[in-house]
Each structure stands twice: as C-alpha cells, then as structure tokens.
C-alpha cells in the first residue's frame, strides 16, 4: 500500500506527491514504514493521517482489527522466548545502538513528529532528546535494576533466599497522539530490555512516528517479532490488546483509563496508567517574578498546551499578583506561532479538530460567565486550520468548565492567594494529581510546600522539565491521574514478576524426629526472635 494512495472518496492530493524534504522524508520512506505495521492486507479500510499545520494528507494507514491484535500477540509471544533468554547486556546493546541512530536521523524524526503533531520544532526536539536519554539510561542501568538479589532468610547459612526478576511476557502499549515518539517508544524500551516483547497500538495521528522508531530499533538489532505495531482505532484495538497481553501500559484520558483498569482487573493482569491532569503552579511572595513568568510561558504552552504535565492553573501571591500578570501577559503576547519545520516558533498548532473545539468551548464558557480575557482567545486561520493563540484568563470560577476540567490546550488561568495554606489547599482541590510547580527564592520553604502538594511530580522553580528529565526517578500520577510510574527502577520493574527461590541445607525448617514439637516451637521462636533483633527484622 502506498503512503500517497488516495481514498476512493477523496479528491484532494497528498502532501507527499512528488515532495522530498531535506531530511529524506518522502512518500517512499512512508511506504517503507508501513511495512512494519502488522495489519491485514490491502483490502482493509484506509484512514488518512492529516498534517495539523495545513490539513493536507500526510499518508494513509490500514485499519487493524482485533484479529490483527491476536495474531501480533501470538507472534510476539513466540519471539519473546529467545529474546527473554538472551542476556540483559545483549538487550541493552540494542538500546544503545537505537539511541545512536536517533541522533543520526534526528532531523527526519523532527520533521515527522511535527507533521503528525503540529508542535513547534523546539518541542519536537524534546521528544528526540528524551527518547535518547531514556534509551541510554535503561541500557546503562537495566542490569543493576534486574540483577538477582540475595535476601535474608529465616536461618543464615542453612537457608539462602534469592529474588529474581522474570519478564511478564507480552506487554501491550496503548499510546496517545500528543507525544508520538516518547509515549509510543520509551515505555516499550524499558519493557524490551527487561526481556519482554511488545505489541503497540499507537494513536492513528502518531502512527508514522511510531513506525519510524520501530524501523530504527530493527536497524539497531531488535529481532523480528519482538515489537509488533498494529495501526487503527483505539476503541476497536484497545480492548482486544488488553484481552490478549500479559501487562498493559496505557497513556490517555482518565475516563478510558478506568475502562482499561476494569478490563485488566477482570483478567488479573498488571497495568500502568498515566492519565489526565489539571496541573497547578504556586508563585510564592518571594519568587523571582520575571523567572516565574518566563518559566510559565514555557510550562503552559509547550506542545500548544497538549501535554499531560503542562500548567493550566496558577496561584500567585496577592502582593506580586499585578506585577506577575503584567510581565506574564507581555511575554504571552510576544510568543510567535508558525507552521514551520524550522526552529524559531515558540508554539505550533493544535493537533486535532476536536482539541481546538474543546479549547474554544472552554474559553467561550469562561468569558461568557464573567472571566476576563487577558491575552489570546481566538483562532488563527491565517496560520493554519488548528492554530489557537496562547490564552490567559483571570477570574475563572467554579461554575466555569476551565476551572476544574482539563483543557489540554494553550489556556492558563491566574488566581491570587493570600496565604500558603490557602494556595496549597486550592492546588489540592482537584481530582487530579499529576504534576505541580512551586516558585520561590527560599528553596527550603519551596521544598516544604512541594511536599504538601498531592501530585506525583512537583518541580521547584521549574514547571515540568526537572522531574521529567530525572530519568532515574519515577514519575506518574496520584489520585485520578494514574496508577504506576514510568522511569527509574519502578519504570522497568513493573514489567517483571518477582520470583523468590530458596535453598535449604542440612536440616529442614521442621521439628527434628528426636525433639518434641512443643520444645521445638519454644526454641524456634526464641531463635527467630534473636535473629530478628540483631538483623533489624527478617526481610
């Protein structure tokens, strides 16, 4: 199937007809990427992938069916046996080579990420960098995370205990459209180096990027069948994948996350969920106002605000509220938007028509109910069909949708506060708990405040990059923002089963024939108590 093939009902021409970008991205490359999709044959219905910048067609995907998921899982399960039996170091070498290939081909990846997501190039670069960092991290540390560990046993020398980590088997990954590279591949990397096989269902609007990453993994030496990608609709393929996989990693909405969790629980399989957020930022009275305003201009509008950890609500101490608003609004009004595949734009386009409709609805609802529009607040059709200005609101109240609902767009609301207790309470007054930010010159105070905020990640004097880039430390959500963590030890161990193996020497853990059970019980209790006291407890 050609990436430039037109739907029978379509009369517009593809973006790729006769076009080659300097990075080498063209229709022929997209055709090759499509060969990595484990989806039926040419008779399948086709789905267009549109370029958010222009609305043109990037290419066409075959729509997978549940039968494709079942076949991909069976193929992955077969391939996993040899892959899982290989050494951790051998698997890590694949990740090292993959990271090197990402660096070599980064311009191609940047073009593709932008053309599928609509984000500015600087934000697409974050995806390349993060994927390289995660690859290097797990390649370097997987052996330490997964190594067998000697554990204290009941009787030293006589009993020895070892903890082993075994791959769960086939991991199903369901990834969204807002980070087509990071969220489709980095979770898979941790699972792969742990010895699992992967069946990935990427969002249709990010499938070409996922297929591109898969091609680089194959070039890096990943065996055939260990990673299978099935393209198509989430409501069709997602349930089938949860029904067939041994573990599920899902990133998406809280509503869908509940469905995934319920289905996985019915099968008694493990799952990890990163879900929605309504992320707060606290600007304390002693904060550097200029730095906080500049930081928020990045933290609220990265990826046009379509980022699970981006800031949507900001609480500013009343003593600096007016100054902060003045400086922040001036910065927002100076941000540049452009549909360019070059560096220079501060913000790109939204990705989907449904997203710009949601953003418009939230802003219109807020303004219609009395909120003040300080900046932005309108589409920019002169730039492209899905461009929306970075928007700042004040006076947002609980009866407005933008107050508590996740907007997932370039909209931020500003609120004054008078005490730290008030700010913390308002930050925690949300069903979500994914990411937060605290700004202050007093690091001790800011860290104490951070510890009171009910979020899985809290950044001091930064909005999101600090916690996200600390790859050895886990990130994830509290409350309705998710279950489980990615990155660090938790990000790889969740793809394993813990197995304990003990070896008993010389005498059994049972009464000897020559001793009465009552006597044995008294002595055994004393010995165990003594060992527990000197070792701080048997563990």
Which residues form the catalytic set? 274, 308
Q: CA–CA separation, 520 vs 494, rounded Å? A: 41
Tokens of 444: 């001790």
Decide if 12 contacts 57 (C-beta within 8 A).
yes
Question: Which of 314, 326, 311, 317 has its CA nearest to residue 286?
Answer: 317
Residues constituting the chain: 539
Q: Assign 3-state DSSP to the chain and report helix, strand, coil percentages, each to 5.
A: 45, 20, 35
Question: Which of 120, 214, 216, 129 has its CA nearest to residue 175?
Answer: 214
- The kind and range of the H/E element at 312 are strand 311-317
The span from the first CA to the last CA of the chain, in angstroms, equals: 58
Q: ∠ at Cα 198 (197, 199), nearest 5°?
A: 135
What three-state secondary structure class fits 59?
strand
Decide if 321 contacts 329 (C-beta within 8 A).
no
Q: CA–CA separation, 79 vs 86, rounded Å? A: 12
Kindly give the interhelix angle for 88-104 and 106-117, rounded to the nearest 10 degrees: 80
Q: CA–CA separation, 350 vs 184, rounded Å? A: 19
Hey, what's the torsion of the CAs at 515, 516, 518, 522, to 10 degrees?
-10
Hey, what's the torsion of the CAs at 530, 531, 535, 539, to 10 degrees?
-130
Question: Which of 319, 262, 249, 281 has its CA nearest to residue 430?
Answer: 281
Q: ∠ at Cα 225 (140, 64), nearest 5°?
A: 120
């Amino acid at each position: 199937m050609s990436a430039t093939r037109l739907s029978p009902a379509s009369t517009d021409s593809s973006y790729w007809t006769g076009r080659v970008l300097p990075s080498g991205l063209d229709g022929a490359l997209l055709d090759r990427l499509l060969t990595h999709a484990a989806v039926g044959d040419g008779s399948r219905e086709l789905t267009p992938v549109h370029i958010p910048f222009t609305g043109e067609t990037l290419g066409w995907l075959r729509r997978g069916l549940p039968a494709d998921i079942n076949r991909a899982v069976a193929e992955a399960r077969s391939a996993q046996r040899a892959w899982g039996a290989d050494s951790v170091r051998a698997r890590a070498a694949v990740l090292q080579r993959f990271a090197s290939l990402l660096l070599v081909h980064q311009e191609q990846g940047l073009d593709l990420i932008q053309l599928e997501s609509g984000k500015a190039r600087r934000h697409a670069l974050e995806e390349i960098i993060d994927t390289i960092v995660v690859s290097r991290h797990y390649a370097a540390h997987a052996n330490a995370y997964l190594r067998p560990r000697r554990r204290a046993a009941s009787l030293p020398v006589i009993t020895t205990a070892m903890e082993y980590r075994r791959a769960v088997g086939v991991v199903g990954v369901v990834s969204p459209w807002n980070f087509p590279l990071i969220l489709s591949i980095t979770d898979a990397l941790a699972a792969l180096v742990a010895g699992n096989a992967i069946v990935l269902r990427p969002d249709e609007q990010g499938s070409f990027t996922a297929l591109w990453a898969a091609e680089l993994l194959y070039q890096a030496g990943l065996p055939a069948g260990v990673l299978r990608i099935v393209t198509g609709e989430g409501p069709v393929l997602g349930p089938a994948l949860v029904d067939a996989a041994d573990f599920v990693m899902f990133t998406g909405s809280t509503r869908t996350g509940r469905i995934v969790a319920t289905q996985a629980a019915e099968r008694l399989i493990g799952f990890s969920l990163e879900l929605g957020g309504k992320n707060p930022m606290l600007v304390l009275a002693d904060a550097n106002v200029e730095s906080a305003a500049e930081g928020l201009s990045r933290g609220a509008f990265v990826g046009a605000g379509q980022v699970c950890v981006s800031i949507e609500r900001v609480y500013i101490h009343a003593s600096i509220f007016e100054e902060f608003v003045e400086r922040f609004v001036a910065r927002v009004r100076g941000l540049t938007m452009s549909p360019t595949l070059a560096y220079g734009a501060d913000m790109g386009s939204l990705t989907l028509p449904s997203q710009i409709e949601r953003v418009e609805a939230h802003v219109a609802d807020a303004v219609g109910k009395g909120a003040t529009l300080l900046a932005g607040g309108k589409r920019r059709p002169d730039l492209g069909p899905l461009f929306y200005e970075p928007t700042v609101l004040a006076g947002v109240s609980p009866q407005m949708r933008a107050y508590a609902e996740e907007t997932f767009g370039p909209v931020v609301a500003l609120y004054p506060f008078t005490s730290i207790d008030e700010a913390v309470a308002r930050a925690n007054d949300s069903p979500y708990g994914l990411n937060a930010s605290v700004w202050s010159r007093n690091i001790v105070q800011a860290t104490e405040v951070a510890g009171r905020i009910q979020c899985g990640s809290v950044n001091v004097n930064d909005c999101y990059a600090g916690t996200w880039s600390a790859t050895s430390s886990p990130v994830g959500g509290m409350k309705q923002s998710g279950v489980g963590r990615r990155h660090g030890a938790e990000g790889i161990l969740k793809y394993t089963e813990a197995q304990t193996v003990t070896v008993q020497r010389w005498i059994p853990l049972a009464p000897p024939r020559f001793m009465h059970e009552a006597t044995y019980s008294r002595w055994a209790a004393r010995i165990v108590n003594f060992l527990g006291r000197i070792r701080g407890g048997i563990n």
